[in-house]
Amino acid sequence: MLRLAKTNPMGRLGQPSDVADLGLFLASDMSAYITGDVVCISGGAVMHA
């Protein structure tokens, strides 16, 4: 797993709290002007099929 984490631009693997933080942000007033978007929680990693 450590080798996989090193390939990510953030230098670590994602955690459930990373997804929860996005959910909290979207449910808050701070996201009131966001009307729609696709949010990729990847730490900057790009995956190609």
pLDDT by position in tens, the chain (length 49): 778 888 889 889 999 999 999 999 999 999 999 998 888 898 888 877 6
Helix spans in 1-49 (H): 2-6, 16-27
Q: What does the alpha-carbon distance between residue 30 and residue 24 come to, in Å, rounded to a whole number?
A: 10
Q: How much is the pLDDT for 49?
A: 67
* 35, two tokens: 């009307």
Residue 1 near residue 13 (C-beta atoms within 8 A): yes
Instruction: Return left, alpha or beta for 44; rule: phi > 0 is left, psi -120 to 50 is alpha, else beta.
Output: left
Residue 30 near residue 22 (C-beta atoms within 8 A): no
Class of domain 1-49: mainly alpha
